Amino acid sequence: MQIAPSVLAADFTRLGEEIRRVSAADYLHLDIMDGHFVPNISYGPGVVAALRPLTDLPFDVHLMLEHPLQYIPDFIKAGADLITFHVECSDPIAETIEAIHQGGAKAGLVVKPGTPAEALWPWLEQLDMVLVMTVEPGFGGQSFMEPMLQKVQQIKEKAPNLPVEVDGGVNRSTIEACAQAGVDICVAGTGVFRAEDAEKALRELQSF
């Protein structure tokens, strides 16, 4: 299993040190929230750019934005390697995917718990990854919604080689179900950054 620790769960008073604690990860997951698409605000491209020199990990940037398209160049310039945005957003999907690819990054689409997997079908061939939310987006520390794994199986049946990521409530007690469903990448926040030994927690999750 590939693991992408979510910076949202890190200690923001010592972000540099926190990033170094998770150097054994596969990605670094960065949640960008605008206070409109989700009822929370996190940080912008300035913070992403500040973190970029601190690690060689690929930046997995999750845009929880009503209008992601206008921010694509900013996040690519800040160092995003992979940008995911929501199929439920208000911007044209194909145009946003194209903007990400033209900027040199990989593109992924995200589905909220209430959105069926079928909403992704028109764009599967254009995507580098799909992210299935296993909690309602906006806040960390929520409980894992196991029924969402049915979407993972549906996506894998439709596009077997497309990497699928899940985000929300992933820890040692929920990751086995993710692995069995065919998940390729798990976002883990509190399960890694709040662990006493972050590297040990990472290795345990990666072993599934």
**Separation of alpha carbons 73 and 195, rounded Å:** 34
How much is the pLDDT for 185? 98
User: How many CA atoms, within 13 angstroms, populate the side-chain half-sphere of residue 122?
Assistant: 6
How much is the pLDDT for 192? 96
**Separation of alpha carbons 25 and 6, rounded Å:** 11
pLDDT, tens digit only, all 208 positions of the chain: 999 999 999 999 999 999 999 999 999 999 999 999 999 999 999 999 999 999 999 999 999 999 999 999 999 999 999 999 999 999 999 999 999 999 999 999 999 999 999 999 999 999 999 999 999 998 888 899 999 999 999 999 999 999 999 999 999 999 999 999 999 999 999 999 999 999 999 999 999 9
How much is the pLDDT for 133? 98
pTM over 0.95: yes
How much is the pLDDT for 46? 97
Q: What angle do CA 152, 155, 158 make, to 5 degrees?
A: 150
Residue 31 falls in the annotated catalytic set: yes
Tens-place pLDDT, residues 34-65:
999 999 999 999 999 999 999 999 999 999 99
List 31, 34, 74, 184, catalytic entry: 31
Sheet hosting strand 28-33, strand order edge to edge: 2-5, 185-188, 164-167, 129-133, 106-111, 82-86, 59-64, 28-33
What is the separation, in whole angstroms, between the first and last Cα of the chain? Answer: 6
List 74, 81, 128, 167, catalytic entry: 167
**Separation of alpha carbons 134 and 35, rounded Å:** 20
DSSP letter for each residue of 164-180: EEEESS-STTTHHHHHH
How much is the pLDDT for 27? 98
How much is the pLDDT for 141? 81
Tens-place pLDDT, residues 75-95:
999 999 999 999 999 999 999
